[in-house]
Amino acid sequence: MSMQDSISDMITRIRNGQLSKKVFVLVKFSNFKSNILNVLKREGYIEGYSIKNKIKIFLKYFNGKPVIEKIEKISKPSLRIYKNKKNISKVISGLGISIISTSRGILTDFEARKLGIGGEVLCNVY
């Protein structure tokens, strides 16, 4: 069975791993996924990750509860969601982030608005 959307698979593994209180989850390696994980680490949603043959994502908890309350895929292979610089909205009034694939790399919604560029909205995290 071939996987059509590996980003959705990674997001689902993170969500399920945190629901079952796992310390880490494993996903197949790709540079695109590691760029998304860079943003999640920089924003404080995961402890970190390491790369061998697979990516080992270390999940983050605070007072026994997952730091990521909700992570949802926005753009799908069957329906891509693109936003220009004026239409990038804040997630929960700025308490969460949107991860956006832009011409300058993978950025948060705040960084994309600051640079004045739009792109494909990959997911929302809060």
**Of 103, 92, 99, nearest to 43 (Cα)?**
99
pLDDT of residue 4: 80
Pick the CATH number of 71-125 from 3.30.1490.10, 3.10.20.310, 3.30.2350.10, 2.60.40.10: 3.30.1490.10
User: Would you list the domain boundaries of the chain?
Assistant: 6-66, 71-125
Architecture of domain 6-66: 2-Layer Sandwich (3.30)
Checking if the pLDDT of 2 tops 60, the result is no
Tens-digit pLDDT profile for residues 44-57:
999 999 999 999 99
Tens-digit pLDDT profile for residues 104-124:
999 999 999 999 999 999 999
47's enclosing H/E stretch is: strand 46-51
